[in-house]
Amino acid sequence: MEPKKRLSVSCHSVPGGYVLDADIRYHSPRFNKDCTVKAGFFSDGVSGPDADILSESWWVHDMLRRTGQWDDFSPCSAWQASWVLHDILKSEGRWFRAVTWGVFTFAACWVKDLF
């Protein structure tokens, strides 16, 4: 069993959201793809609850949804971004959040993509 990942994202609040202070580099074992979120990236915090702002999960998910692609420029679907969110939360030992947020983000992205 892998050790739990530490919540270690450095960010600060600004009016209307949060700004990332240091780069996040995430490798998805599930998809064998990489996602880099650069320092200075803004998140409105709407998609991720304040309790999870120190988790890489929301930052990576937001970047994948905003750009729609991985670092290698291949497309990233809402389904993949939701799995990434799930996998990161699970690696942090947050099983309940991994399942619920994985399902909810996919459903929300799917509905949004319909319109």
- Side by side, which strands form the sheet with 11-14? 11-14, 17-20, 42-43
- This prediction has a pTM of 0.80
pLDDT of residue 31: 97
The size of the chain, in residues, is 115
CA distance 45 to 59: 9
Query: How confident is the model at residue 8, as a pLDDT?
Result: 72
DSSP state of 105: H
Tokens 């459903």 label which residue? 107
- Longest Cα–Cα distance of the chain, Å, equals 42
CA dist., res. 105 & res. 31, Å (int): 18
Looking at residue 74, what is its pLDDT? 98
Q: How far is CA 50 from CA 5, 35, 54, 81, in A?
A: 18, 22, 8, 19
Which of 76, 75, 72 has its CA nearest to residue 61?
Answer: 76
Show pLDDT as tens, one digit a residue, over the chain (115 residues): 454 565 678 888 889 888 999 999 999 999 999 999 999 999 877 655 555 667 888 899 999 999 999 999 999 998 899 899 889 988 888 877 777 777 777 777 666 665 5
CA 102 to chain CA centroid, Å, is 10
For residue 100, what pLDDT is reported?
Answer: 76
